[in-house]
Amino acid sequence: MITKNKSVNAWIDEMAAMTCPDSIVLIDGSESQLEELRQQAMATGEIIKLNQEKLPGCYLHRTAVNDVARVEGRTFICTSKKEDAGPTNNWMDPKECYEKLSKIYAGSMKGRTMYVIPYSMGMVGSPFAKYGIELTDSIYVVLNMEIMTRVGTDVLEALGDDAQFIKGLHSKADLDDEKRYICHFPEDNTIWSVNSGYGGNVLLGKKCFALRIASYLGKNEGWMAEHMLILGLEDPDGNVKYIAAAFPSACGKTNLAMLIPPEVYAKKGYKVWTVGDDIAWLRIGEDGRLWAVNPENGFFGVAPGTNENSNYNALATTRRDTIFTNVVHNLDDNTVWWEGLDKNPPANAIDWKGNKWDYTKYDKKDKSTCGAHPNSRFTACAKNCPCISKEFNNPMGVPLSAIVFGGRRAKTAPLVYQARSWEHGVFVGSIMASETTAAATGAVGVVRRDPMAMLPFCGYNMAEYFGHWIEMGKKIPNAPKIFNVNWFRTDDEGHFIWPGFGDNMRVLKWILDRCEDKVDAVETAIGYVPAAEDINIDGLEDVTLDTMKELLSVDKALWGEEISGIEEFYARFDDKFPKELRDQLDTLKANLAK
């Protein structure tokens, strides 16, 4: 008997009968058990203990070379009806998928241990928490899940005899990328992942549960699961206002969530507090506002580019109790390095593939010469973050003043604009587009539609997802205002025009001022844009009023081109697609024609 819960035991027995592990071990959340697992993983080389004086509690892991990012092409939503997965998801018939994967799982844990990880998304015992159990044959997964979620026997106690938990099965099998599958069965509360050992593919509480399965649950239960950071902005009087922002993978959520206000604001007493950096569960509160909870317990952040200046708080968070994946191993002092950490690449080093790395051959334009993989990551505890919000563990979450969408666009999208209404805001989210990044396998830098940054994470038909957004808006008496930002506009030489990072605070300030009716805006074809002088540029060396005008300009010709891309995207959906959004598109077209 692994647990006291009959349904849990029956399911574990069934999965063990298929995967044939040598033994089954329940993860109780104790430090002694985790330490034993670390020792085992060190003995096999699965993790490397780093310099404990410089990086206490820190370890390095390298994945297989063919296994470094989410695999969207091999990610499936398995609903009984194909149309319930919708046109943007890969679909497989559940029965067919179970059969196909059962063959791959068969005997895959022979000679291995199956770890049973009871975990909670949200505070254990909270009315908004959801529980999951992940079965895995990877110690790396156990150690990461322990940082990223709330793991332990208290989860089983809170679950009691209930059969309502998310059943996650993961096996590394033999890391064969031809047989790699990440499959979701929303109708069965089940996730099956096989032949990967990488982040979003295997830490099943994260994208698989907290976004794909949870978005489906949210639609049925009247709440929303979104790919959003949550931050609190404190003014000099100590009032904190909360913002949630959805940007696609590797487009700046962790950085924005942990930003340090520039001098002009810091000296007045403005502060930013992090509630979450990747996922937000949104519910309507009794007060009629929209409340956001971060269901995670840690950060699985992009390492490259993280440094003292770009993201001091993230770097500080990773100085203890952190697992680094696919970064450079500095052999001189047994620490880690990545591109953009500092200007001193280690001379005596091992690259992410496990080979001797010669930094003198590093060429910024050729990613294959990088020491750290562009999607290398740190797994760090939220409690170690210097700017963690005091509301982080509040099971009710925080009330939102604004929702922000944003992507990586070299042209077209201005630095910031505000939607005219909730419905228009849903439209603004639905037409998001962004250049692809290394967070998923495939080409990088290609502009694709990524509505609400949820294209790879929506667990059901995206037409219904848009409908759910529209419906939610009708039920929130005091809804947050909706905005769109773009930190990534470039000049003709391809340089970013906006300094970004901490200076994004200047834009957040305008956003909150708009929410409180403290500042005017200019109405354009796409929505409300700030007057150039209303974004504070004090202390910015390279930004003039003219730069601001350029960053805020709405180019009707470019937006005209955008329309055809939107129409093409919308054309993929059938009659489930909300009429409100087609009306919004007509309005945009009419505005541009004016």
Q: Which is nearer to Mn ion, 67 or 278 (CB)?
A: 278
Q: Which residues pair with 120 in a beta bridge?
A: 131, 150
Secondary structure class of 146 (helix, strand, coil): helix
What the block records as the tokens of 124 is 């254990």
User: CA-CA distance, 226 to 432, in Å (whole number)?
Assistant: 14
Residues in contact with ligand SPV, shown as a per-residue x/- string from 238 to 257 under the rule CB under 6 A = -----------x--------
**Using rule CB under 6 A, residue 140 touches ligand SPV:** no
Residues in contact with Mn ion, shown as a per-residue x/- string from 274 to 313 under the rule CB under 5 A = ----x-----------------------------------
Beta carbon of residue 277, minimum distance to ligand GTP (angstroms, whole number):
6
**Using rule CB under 6 A, residue 252 touches ligand GTP:** yes
Positive or negative: CA dihedral 192, 168, 72, 374: negative
CB 193 within 8 A of CB 208: yes
Residues in contact with ligand GTP, shown as a per-residue x/- string from 277 to 296 under the rule CB under 6 A = xx------------------
Which of Mn ion, ligand GTP, ligand SPV, none does 199 bind, CB closer than 5 to 8 A by kind? ligand SPV
Q: Which is nearer to ligand SPV, 206 or 373 (CB)?
A: 206
User: CA-CA distance, 461 to 77, in Å (whole number)?
Assistant: 10
User: Using the rule CB under 6 A, which residue among 61, 130, 207, 509 binds ligand SPV?
Assistant: 207
What the block records as the tokens of 215 is 């978005």
Beta carbon of residue 285, minimum distance to Mn ion (angstroms, whole number):
25
CB-based contacts of 128: which residues, under 8 Å, 6+ apart?
122, 281, 283, 293, 395, 396, 397
User: CA-CA distance, 125 to 297, in Å (whole number)?
Assistant: 15
Residues in contact with ligand SPV, shown as a per-residue x/- string from 167 to 206 under the rule CB under 6 A = --------------------------------xx-----x
User: Using the rule CB under 6 A, which residue among 300, 510, 569, 573 binds ligand SPV?
Assistant: 300
CB-based contacts of 501: which residues, under 8 Å, 6+ apart?
255, 259, 309, 310, 311
Secondary structure class of 522 (helix, strand, coil): strand
Return the residues of window 474-493 that contact ligand GTP according to CB under 6 A: 487-488
CB 302 within 8 A of CB 439: yes
User: Using the rule CB under 6 A, which residue among 72, 278, 391, 562 binds ligand SPV?
Assistant: 278
Torsion of CA 349, 352, 354, 359, to 10 degrees: -30
Return the residues of window 433-452 that contact ligand GTP according to CB under 6 A: 439
Q: Max Cα separation, the chain?
A: 71
Return the residues of window 130-159 that contact ligand GTP according to CB under 6 A: none
CB-based contacts of 163: which residues, under 8 Å, 6+ apart?
5, 7
Beta carbon of residue 356, minimum distance to ligand GTP (angstroms, whole number):
26
What is the total count of residues that contact ligand SPV (CB under 6 A)? 9
Q: What are phi and psi of 244, to 5 degrees?
A: -115, 140
251 part of the active site: yes
Q: Which is nearer to ligand SPV, 301 or 414 (CB)?
A: 301
What the block records as the tokens of 165 is 């938990």
Residue with tokens 């080389």, as numbered in its chain: 45
Beta carbon of residue 347, minimum distance to ligand SPV (angstroms, whole number):
31
Catalytic residue among 251, 370, 381, 458: 251
User: Using the rule CB under 6 A, which residue among 3, 7, 90, 310 binds ligand GTP?
Assistant: 310
> Which secondary structure element, helix H or strand E, spans residue 448, and what is its range?
strand 447-449
Residues in contact with ligand GTP, shown as a per-residue x/- string from 230 to 249 under the rule CB under 6 A = -----------------x-x
Positions marked active-site: 251
Using CB under 6 A, list all residues that contact ligand GTP: 247, 249-255, 277-278, 301-302, 304-305, 310, 439, 487-488, 496, 500-501, 504
